[in-house]
Chain A
């Protein structure tokens, strides 16, 4: 194995379709118009020396190392900033160029430390490479004069010297090694879009500076790592590389955090991970990353990770470490005993959206085939199940319609109930790039998210509506579109049912759906609603991106339908730049849904009651399947409390922390006789567990993840599982112990089975993914190369279906006791319930969950910034510290749910979406009052938590 090598072409690819031919060093080369000479040369394999150019950012032309000679032109132009022209004749190496380049390098080296041998970038430094490339053999100038290299100059402090900045937990900035090429500055602007870095000063005094001469940690920097990647020297360098040394081999794999699905090179030294570097060929991220995937993988080796199986008779007992065999047998015996006593339907399981497709598929197979019922569900229940039902009804498939690249062709972007800068950072960077090029932006969100106003971006409309009024708002948009005749009649007649459209048009045109009426409900002025609706309908390619702020409502499904209606009515479906795009949270939420994790459907979204698909599975699996739908997560908990559901197998989910109404969840878990948790850590749910099976990380397994754009990508094992088994192997062991054998030698065989049984995956295989890198489903004989964009020649269901979306206010209402509306969300550096990110240095950016409250509401209650406050709802109460900000409107408060201490879900109610039971996280009526510290519930919980996490360490006889 060796390092996966990526070519740096020096400047970005030109998108022009027109080809131009020129001659470089006597060879003819044909490239797209607009390509730089540097890139053209590299394309034929000639690397022109360069320092300030790299293909992730636009050329700047400052180092003067890449000079070339062009026939018929005077001087020596920089090849990075000079575009090619037809018939151009270029020479990249002449005596004159050699002299010039040596002179340039000599100057650079004369102000650079010569500690190459002990430098962390030794062997991975472009300055070093270029010194070699230009044949530099000596430096005529000494360090006696002005320099940036030494702290002291002739005994006195050197005013030009700056100390190292180690404030960022993951990388260092050593100004003495900086060559001021500005690659980092451009990467931060162009790739990441944060504009945290500038070049301060001029000439010899110019320095890279985060913000206004701040430290990296104190600046706007979000630690995405783009600057570190861009830096040609050791100036910006990963601390891990400094600590461990240069990696020697690398493996391409997929990030296990969010639904963007960034592709990374895991750079290794033996089985030790040195760093994760975003992979340019990754089609989801195109070489970019965020702090989580790039840096926050330390949890994989965190000391709290559990590596041995454990059992206990009662949840109040301490855990006892046992062999795998004993733990698996205990779980299997318990499930069998429970089924014998309480009936076949008294057990079930939960698949994980953090595990691979193959692992998810096996868990649902175990439940359907070995348990013999359909009591399987997944965490997508609590996030995007309304997307499945809503888009399924209107378009015929639950899939998001676009790929991420599509955003580059959008003219108007609506972001509703989503905060991509925090939850889907790399996609947000790509969206921001398009916005900086001039696309228009409409943000519909109760809170002023980062996107509304950030560096060089300003939303054209921010409709700050009251939580719970999405359906009214979207229907008002439709009202404007229909009554002002802004709809696309040709599209509708061609692709939708015209009668249904008219029925719908009548409904949306009624006065109760007018912007004026909705202004009263939502608190957004009618003119703003009209303006935004007109912009979307008439501004060119219109794309809608939405998140959990749409789905996690009692009308979540209806809101998804309203979005689908709007896109159909305006003809914004079926080509690049448009579409309806659910931004899915966890890395494999899409996959876990595709793989048949829902109790009513088999993989590929086929209802369990349909004979044809069910018989297909029965034949393949050699069992008879139950044709009745099983229980969904909230139903399982209800049934547990009622005494008809007694045992559960949970792979890689923490329902106690992530599901609403914590007290209800704990009551359900407490009522069960056998709870088996398979995870990396003793998570919150595990406190009610009887068997704990240690899981493996994404670094320790092979498989696939499917990201939010339906892209199936390989996850590759880079180290052996510290716990002994990959998660799919554990499921096989359990299934076998239950009496149903599963025999797979490798996850690729599981994928073959998925492909055999799932029409949309028919042509997917590991071999194909090895060759292509990734593919977007459906991928079968009809779409052998996959499907970047859906519904291109018509809707999957045939005719697009317009559905009436009447606004029905939630029953969760404010009143005198609970006068404020709480809505919840997440932040960039932490991930979901935080089990992983809290166990990394990312906590430096988010030590605790805070309650955002408007200054007006805070003042009324005598709450000051940073005070402890009591947050109470009809379900329960908790305490946390207040953060006073006008990001939220008066009457609305907001918090995240990353920390178990806060237990924000003690507050949320168990109201849920009418169609899918997706919980209503986004609206809870609450009261806020000053408090002295943690609530009694939090203290008791803390106590109980310690109690249930004890492990009685025995000297294992291994």
Chain B
């Protein structure tokens, strides 16, 4: 992605974008509970491969993940079924 001028196209970046977007909502509710709520939302609505991809992305540095979203992704690991 060259700049914020571009729509979020490539899938890795797109997942980060989505996670942050979810994060923004839950932070506006209550910053303390946000990471848990974000993780819950992702576990409920993302299929395992998307969860696996965002965890892998975090493992490779997780650039661009907002702190609350990053914390949420940390806790996601346990929810992913082995394939």
Chain A interfacial positions (CB closer than 8 Å to B): 343, 345, 374-375, 554, 557-558, 599-600, 607, 609, 628-632, 635, 638-639, 641-642, 644, 661, 664, 803-804, 806, 808, 811-812, 815, 817, 874-875, 909-911, 914-917
B9 / chain A contacts, CB cutoff of 8 Å = 664, 910
CB contact under 8 A between A808 and B46, given known A874-B7, A917-B18: no
* Other 4 A-B pairs with CB < 8 A, given A629-B44, A641-B11, A874-B5: A609-B44, A806-B25, A915-B22, A917-B18
Q: Are A345 and B44 within 8 A (Cβ)?
A: no
Query: Which of A557, A599, A609, A808 contacts B47 (CB under 8 A)?
Result: A599
Interface residues as binary, B1-30 with A (CB distance below 8 Å gives 1, 0 otherwise): 000111111010010001001101100110
Task: Return the chain A residue nearest B6 by Cβ.
Answer: A874
Check if B36 is an interface residue, CB within 8 A of chain A. Answer: no
Interface residues as binary, B37-52 with A (CB distance below 8 Å gives 1, 0 otherwise): 0000100111111100
CB distance from A810 to the nearest CB of B (A): 10
A811 / chain B contacts, CB cutoff of 8 Å = 4
CB distance from B42 to the nearest CB of A (A): 10
Q: Are A554 and B44 within 8 A (Cβ)?
A: no
Q: Are A914 and B25 within 8 A (Cβ)?
A: yes
Q: Are A806 and B28 within 8 A (Cβ)?
A: yes
A661 / chain B contacts, CB cutoff of 8 Å = 7
B18 / chain A contacts, CB cutoff of 8 Å = 914, 917
CB distance from A83 to the nearest CB of B (A): 58
Task: Return the chain A residue nearest B25 by Cβ.
Answer: A914
Check if B81 is an interface residue, CB within 8 A of chain A. Answer: yes
Q: Are B7 and A803 within 8 A (Cβ)?
A: no
CB contact under 8 A between A911 and B8, given known A635-B47, A804-B29: yes
A644 / chain B contacts, CB cutoff of 8 Å = 49
Q: Are A638 and B44 within 8 A (Cβ)?
A: no
Query: Which of B24, B29, B47 contacts A628 (CB under 8 A)?
Result: B47
Check if B60 is an interface residue, CB within 8 A of chain A. Answer: no
Q: Are A375 and B11 within 8 A (Cβ)?
A: no
Q: Are B49 and A803 within 8 A (Cβ)?
A: no
Q: Contact size class for B? A: 20 to 34
Chain B interfacial positions (CB closer than 8 Å to A): 4-9, 11, 14, 18, 21-22, 24-25, 28-29, 41, 44-50, 81, 83
CB distance from B60 to the nearest CB of A (A): 16
Q: How far apart sit A644 and B48, CA to CA, in the bound complex (Å)?
A: 12
Q: Are A638 and B47 within 8 A (Cβ)?
A: no
B47 / chain A contacts, CB cutoff of 8 Å = 345, 374-375, 599, 628-631, 635
What are 12 A-B interface contacts by the 8 Å CB criterion? Answer: A345-B47, A345-B49, A599-B47, A609-B44, A628-B48, A629-B46, A629-B47, A631-B49, A632-B45, A635-B47, A641-B11, A914-B24
Q: Are B11 and A875 within 8 A (Cβ)?
A: no
Q: Are B24 and A808 within 8 A (Cβ)?
A: yes
Q: Are A600 and B45 within 8 A (Cβ)?
A: yes
Task: Return the chain B residue nearest A812 by Cβ.
Answer: B7
Main secondary structure of the interface of B (DSSP, over half): helix
B81 / chain A contacts, CB cutoff of 8 Å = 628
A808 / chain B contacts, CB cutoff of 8 Å = 24-25, 28
A664 / chain B contacts, CB cutoff of 8 Å = 9
A631 / chain B contacts, CB cutoff of 8 Å = 47, 49-50
Q: How far apart sit A808 and B81, CA to CA, in the bound complex (Å)?
A: 34
B46 / chain A contacts, CB cutoff of 8 Å = 629, 635
Q: Are A910 and B44 within 8 A (Cβ)?
A: no
Q: Are B49 and A909 within 8 A (Cβ)?
A: no
Q: Are B8 and A910 within 8 A (Cβ)?
A: yes
Q: How far apart sit A815 and B6, CA to CA, in the bound complex (Å)?
A: 12
Q: How far apart sit A543 and B54, CA to CA, in the bound complex (Å)?
A: 42
Q: How far apart sit A628 and B21, CA to CA, in the bound complex (Å)?
A: 22
Task: Return the chain B residue nearest A920 by Cβ.
Answer: B7
CB distance from B6 to the nearest CB of A (A): 6
Task: Return the chain B residue nearest A636 by Cβ.
Answer: B47
Q: How far apart sit A936 and B26, CA to CA, in the bound complex (Å)?
A: 44
A632 / chain B contacts, CB cutoff of 8 Å = 45
Q: Are B49 and A875 within 8 A (Cβ)?
A: no
Q: How far apart sit A940 and B82, CA to CA, in the bound complex (Å)?
A: 44
B44 / chain A contacts, CB cutoff of 8 Å = 600, 607, 609, 629
Task: Return the chain A residue nearest B46 by Cβ.
Answer: A629
CB contact under 8 A between A639 and B8, given known A628-B81, A806-B28: no
Q: How far apart sit A345 and B47, CA to CA, in the bound complex (Å)?
A: 10
A343 / chain B contacts, CB cutoff of 8 Å = 83
CB distance from B9 to the nearest CB of A (A): 7
B7 / chain A contacts, CB cutoff of 8 Å = 661, 812, 874-875, 909-911
Q: Which of B8, B18, B29, B47 has the most CB of A within 10 A?
A: B47
Query: Which of B6, B25, B48, B50 contacts A558 (CB under 8 A)?
Result: B25
Q: How far apart sit A638 and B49, CA to CA, in the bound complex (Å)?
A: 11
A909 / chain B contacts, CB cutoff of 8 Å = 7
A630 / chain B contacts, CB cutoff of 8 Å = 47
CB distance from B7 to the nearest CB of A (A): 4
Q: How far apart sit A609 and B45, CA to CA, in the bound complex (Å)?
A: 11
Task: Return the chain B residue nearest A660 by Cβ.
Answer: B7
Q: How far apart sit A382 and B6, CA to CA, in the bound complex (Å)?
A: 21
Q: How far apart sit A914 and B29, CA to CA, in the bound complex (Å)?
A: 14
Q: How far apart sit A911 and B41, CA to CA, in the bound complex (Å)?
A: 19
Q: Are B45 and A629 within 8 A (Cβ)?
A: yes
Task: Return the chain A residue nearest B27 by Cβ.
Answer: A806
Task: Return the chain B residue nearest A663 by Cβ.
Answer: B9
Q: Are B11 and A638 within 8 A (Cβ)?
A: yes
A812 / chain B contacts, CB cutoff of 8 Å = 7
A607 / chain B contacts, CB cutoff of 8 Å = 44
Q: Are B22 and A642 within 8 A (Cβ)?
A: no
Q: Which of A630, A635, A642 has the most CB of B within 10 A?
A: A635
B24 / chain A contacts, CB cutoff of 8 Å = 808, 914
CB distance from A709 to the nearest CB of B (A): 27
B4 / chain A contacts, CB cutoff of 8 Å = 811
B5 / chain A contacts, CB cutoff of 8 Å = 815, 817, 874
B41 / chain A contacts, CB cutoff of 8 Å = 915
Q: How far apart sit A374 and B49, CA to CA, in the bound complex (Å)?
A: 13
Q: Which of B4, B8, B18, B49 has the most CB of A within 10 A?
A: B49
Q: How far apart sit A392 and B8, CA to CA, in the bound complex (Å)?
A: 28
